[in-house]
Amino acid sequence: MGTAAHVEREALSDLFTELGPDVPTLCEGWTARDLAAHLVVRERRPDGAVGIVAKPLAGYADKVRRGEAERPWDEIVQRVRSGPPMFAPTRIDAVDRAVNTIEYFVHHEDVRRAQPGWTRRELTPDLVADLTAALSRMARVLARKVPVGVVLNVTDAPDGPRTIVARKGEESVTISGPIGEITLYVYGRRDVAGVELDGSAAAVEQLRAASFGI
């Protein structure tokens, strides 16, 4: 079956096939075709992938993505499903878990939760464990620009509730919920993330106005 990231990749590819290229996603302005092309560029076009994280090259990255999006839909989906080139580091399970678990979970939900009547799904133990590990590694980087302290209270961690201190501060806000919902919240999908925020009104307002991100 492969890693949880691989399972999410397969499920997202199946959903792409089921829904087609023109349905909306939670990525503002992007259809399923745009999102699928982004995933292809990220794994198969290193020249374009650099622009995903390096803002000065964002225009070129978008040009590469739009070029990929012009391929036939079935071909794009197959390129997502088949993953990176044979000798890419992400073919190694440990690297796949570290690099792709959050990416494919979040984008799977970007498609699922943009459709009418979506419901929250129960995550597998493997996915819960890998998301918890990945977010534990990334939390401090993601919260570094937030002006208040941030504590993540993961209610469904494999060994029981787990606390992750993402950022220390004189005032802190605790974000509580299942790991999938917390992940979606800190990756900018706040309107659809089922979490609870605990802190002073002022601190919560600052958190809501802040931008998480690399």
CATH number of domain containing 163? 3.30.1050
Q: In this structure, are 132 and 194 located in the same domain?
A: yes
Q: How far apart are CA 101 and CA 3, in angstroms?
A: 8
Q: How many CA atoms lie within 13 A of 143 on its CB side?
A: 29
Q: Which domain holds residue 199?
A: 125-209
Domain identity same for 87 and 50? yes
- Of residues 94 and 89, the one with the higher pLDDT is 94
166 and 204 housed in the same domain: yes
Same domain flag for 104 and 182 = no
pTM value is: 0.91
Say if 97 falls within a structural domain: yes
Buried/exposed 50-84: b ≥16 CB within 10 Å, e otherwise: ebbeeeebeeebbebbeebbebebeebbebbbebb
* 191: DSSP letter: G
- 137 and 107 within one domain: no
Quick check: 13 and 6 in contact, CB under 8 A?
no
Residue 136's pLDDT band (cuts 50, 70, 90)? very high
Instruction: Answer yes or no: do 104 and 8 share one domain.
Output: yes
Cross-strand partners of 171? none
| Model confidence band, residue 203 (pLDDT cutoffs 50, 70, 90) | very high
Domain stop point among 77, 112, 147: 112
Domain presence at residue 120: no
In a domain, 117, yes or no: no
Last residue within a domain, chosen from 91, 112, 133: 112
User: Are the beta carbons of 114 and 30 closer than 8 angstroms?
Assistant: no
Same domain, 106 and 163: no
pLDDT number for residue 213: 76
Whether residue 118 lies inside any domain: the answer is no
pLDDT tens profile 64-83: 778 888 999 999 999 999 98
Could you give the CA distance from residue 44 to residue 21 in angstroms, rounded to a whole number? 20
Looking at the DSSP bridge assignments, the partners of residue 198 are: 174
- What distance in Å separates the CA atoms of residue 147 and residue 207, rounded to the nearest whole number? 7
